[in-house]
Structure 1
Amino acid sequence: MRYLLRRAAGGFLFGVPLLYTVELWVIGETTRPYWLLGALAIGFVVVFLLLQVEGLRRHQRPALGQSAIDTLEVLGVGVVCATLSLFLLRRITWITPLPEVLGKIVFEAIPFSFGSALASSLLGGDRRLFLGSLPATGDARSPAPPVPQPVPTPHPLDWGDTLADLDATLLGAFIIAFNIAPTDEVAILATDIPTLWLLVLMLTSLLISYIIVFVAGFPNQSERQHQQGLFQKPFSETIIAYLISLGAAVAMLWFFHKLGPTDPWQKWLSYTIVLGLPASMGGAAGRIIV
């Protein structure tokens, strides 16, 4: 399960920025079914090659059959993540025509799958921590034992670590959300999302950032859970980091003149929460990487 969550984390980081692209929405709405099959075939080939390169980089030679299964798994993660994201941002709803739903899901699932395939390279980590490493022949029936991980001892509050996490959260939020902030897609999404749905968006942002840092099993997860300090307890870190990401979103929106002193507070709230989704994911990634 943690391995799949790590795949999903990579997918969200790579795919969410493309969710804020109206051109991709239009392509999904207008593409015919046979083009969708072609897009899935291209996505399969690219993901297959990405996984092959990742295996060679780790000095592994998985069997072609196992690689094909892994590719289908990654594509499945991409489809699930894209579907949830499109529904969350209300690009698809219960009344959206089925051809439009399929088109949007397929074209959004492909970049999600690319991020899923590159999850370990993007954020570190190793599948062997959870599934055991496969032998060179690709025989999944004989996994090697998992690599034991030392349990770090708790240590007192370190303000240096706290400031490092603060900087990493801000840096990650800006890296992921800065290119989204000046676009019209933020306004389009904020206008279409009902006020109560913003609460769902906030809770989802908190949940995804929590999973990335504390559940997905990236290298320093165990160490973070044993540290003592402002940022090192899962609940407090997730809440504070999300507030920092929202602050970064406000700063970006103000910088690009998307928000101003004369705008109503409802506009400030909706724009900030909409941009806070990618900003919070970037903040979570920043704390993992730094």
Structure 2
Amino acid sequence: MQFDLVDFRLLVNIAEEKSLSRGAERSHLSIPAASNRIKNLESRIGMDLLYRNSQGVTLTPIGQSFLHHARIVLRQLEHLCGDLQEYTEGIKGHIKIFATTTAITELLPEPISRFLRAHPDVNITMQEHRSQHILRAVTEGSIDIGIVAENINHENVQLFPFGQDRLALVAPVDHPLVGRREVAFAETLDYDYVGLWESSAMHSFLVDASRSLNRPMKFRLEVGSIEAACRMVSFGVGIAMVPVSAARRYATSFDIRVIELSDDWARRCLQICVRNLEQLPVFARDLVAFLLATADVSAL
């Protein structure tokens, strides 16, 4: 059975877009050409890859299996191209990382910048996501490295301790909660919040925590960064939940107070997550080793 890399990319794009037409557009194919490719692929396999309906398309079980292997093949091809670029364009490799809000804003900037200075032949793409999405991307082979913030025991990934994710409340100096050494998350839900944008991993995490208490969060304002949230808190717009290291740092610049959270989930271990360390390209393995060498699990 022979496969075409164009078909691999097409199916991945269709799955991610949940639409044949948008998948075709991402693959730079016309809709008829994309449809014919999928039909020919299904004919060769002897089974349907897609469920088709008026709302779009979804993958059949065999389609899910095909997608999993297609992502692995395409990722390995990217690794090959990265290695070959060393001899053509001077860029040796490209590493794709998904990480939590705390990892991206607090723990990764300094070691990543040092790694890139020491490795001018490597490029990195880094995106913020929730832990479960990161784990799925690692197991699917669509990223090289993940940084997750939950106690995960998954047989299909390898995990390495990296740091600590601890959340704290920041409040205006005249807020009713100021003066408390610590506070439960449930108590904070009586007050207006300054939150990060809805697309952020932190926003989704806190909304899920409030839903588990059957209490809504009252977002008065949503902003694009932790610094902006702390600044708006200093002007009395509301309270905010941020990594404790950021809270303490901005408390030296803004008129805010830091209050610890008593909830157990506010303290989580960050872990580096990879599918198989030995199968990573050498430059990605070098980054994992570098992060582990600079990690301080008691940093927060």
Higher helix share: 1
Higher strand share: 2
If you compute each CA radius of gyration, which structure gives the higher value, 1 or 2? Answer: 2
Same fold (TM over 0.5): no
Choose between structure 1 and 2 for higher RCO, CA contacts under 8 A separated by at least 6 residues: 1
For the superposition of Structure 1 and Structure 2, which TM-score range results when normalised by the shorter chain? Answer: under 0.3
Give TM-score scaled by structure 2 length.
Answer: 0.21
Give TM-score scaled by structure 1 length.
Answer: 0.22
